[in-house]
């Protein structure tokens, strides 16, 4: 049976009332990126990091985040130039399993893409998180997304070095770190050819004033550096799209 056409969506309307609608219809008409969580993220006693809010540089608004793993994935998507909107838990999907029992799942993350399609995702802290129920739900939600041309993914946890680099750059994502008028242009011009981070900063001016703009440019992709090794003053920084020697993918 084609289960993709049998899904229902539950979400909150602007006044906080729950709405249930055919999934295919909701996907075409509802701006999920603008909706609050359909249900609260659970607070688990004993965990070092609980539910909170992430300020998105993409949207200029806060996004609900339920775990440290999800916050890290929000960082990745917030830097993605192909993403235009983000939301935490904005929709619950309902369907019937092969035995006719009603099942439901609330994906942790919604990301709107620039082409109008979207990504629904979960952010497990390790590959087996959630057990069999999560695996079964992942299969069903993937079918629901494929039916309408969207994507569902269980996003793999980031390695420690990349996570640390993203956390550092995220601290400079706000527009205030672009500095005074003209500074960002000078920063980008300083790294027209790849050079050590501190060398390029010093070429522009006092590093104390310039480095926040360099990190802001790295966050937003105006400059590029390898984030798979620890950031330090001698790391090579280059122009947008530059890849450091020995890397097969794009920098950053």
95-106: pLDDT as tens digits = 998 888 999 999
Question: How confident is residue 244, by pLDDT bands cut at 50, 70 and 90?
Answer: confident
Q: Is the CB of residue 57 less than 8 Å from the CB of residue 220? A: yes
136-169: pLDDT as tens digits = 999 999 999 999 999 999 999 999 999 999 999 9
Q: What percent of the chain is modeled with pLDDT above 70?
A: 93
Strand order across the beta sheet in which 195-196 lies: 195-196, 236-239, 223-224
- B/e letters for 123-148, b = 16+ CB within 10 Å, e = fewer, are bbeeeeebeeeeeebbebbbbbbebb
196-237: pLDDT as tens digits = 999 999 999 999 999 999 999 999 999 999 999 999 999 999
- Quick one: which of 206, 161, 149, 156 has its CA closest to 180? 206
Q: Give the alpha-carbon dihedral of 122, 125, 128, 131, to 10 degrees.
A: -70
62-65 and 52-55 beta bridge pairing: antiparallel
DSSP annotation string for 34-54: GPPPSSPPP--TT-SS--EEE
Query: How high is the pLDDT of residue 128?
Result: 79
Long-range contacts of the stretch 75-81 (C-beta < 8 A, 24+): 75/166, 75/167, 75/170, 76/155, 76/158, 76/166, 77/109, 77/111, 77/119, 78/54, 78/170, 78/173, 79/166, 79/219, 79/220, 79/221, 79/252, 80/111, 81/114, 81/221
Question: Given a cut of 70, is residue 12 above it in pLDDT?
Answer: yes
DSSP, collapsed to helix, strand or coil, labels residue 126 as coil
Q: Is the pTM of this model over 0.85?
A: yes
CA–CA distance, 123 with 244 (Å, rounded to integer) = 29
């Amino acid at each position: 049976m084609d289960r993709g056409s049998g899904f229902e969506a539950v979400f909150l309307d602007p006044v906080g009332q729950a709405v249930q609608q055919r999934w295919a219809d909701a996907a075409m008409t509802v701006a999920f990126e603008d909706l609050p969580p359909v249900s609260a993220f659970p607070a688990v006693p004993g965990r070092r990091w609980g539910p909170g809010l992430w300020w998105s540089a993409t949207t200029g608004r806060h996004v609900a985040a339920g775990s440290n793993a999800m916050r890290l994935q929000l960082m990745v998507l917030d830097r993605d130039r192909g993403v235009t909107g983000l939301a935490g838990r904005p929709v619950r999907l309902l369907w019937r399993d092969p035995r006719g029992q009603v099942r439901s799942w609330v994906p942790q993350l919604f990301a709107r893409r620039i082409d109008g399609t979207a990504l629904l995702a979960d952010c497990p802290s390790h590959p087996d998180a959630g057990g069999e129920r999560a695996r079964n739900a992942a299969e069903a939600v993937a079918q629901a997304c494929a039916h309408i041309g969207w994507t569902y993914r269980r996003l793999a946890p980031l390695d420690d070095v990349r996570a640390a680099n993203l956390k550092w750059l995220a601290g400079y994502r706000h527009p205030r770190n672009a500095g005074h008028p003209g500074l960002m242009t000078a920063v980008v011009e300083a790294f027209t050819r790849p050079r050590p981070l501190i060398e390029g900063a010093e070429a522009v001016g006092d590093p104390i004033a310039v480095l926040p703009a360099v990190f802001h440019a790295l966050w937003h992709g105006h400059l590029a550096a390898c984030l798979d090794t620890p950031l330090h003053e001698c790391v090579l920084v280059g122009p947008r799209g530059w890849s450091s020697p020995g890397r097969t993918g794009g920098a950053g």
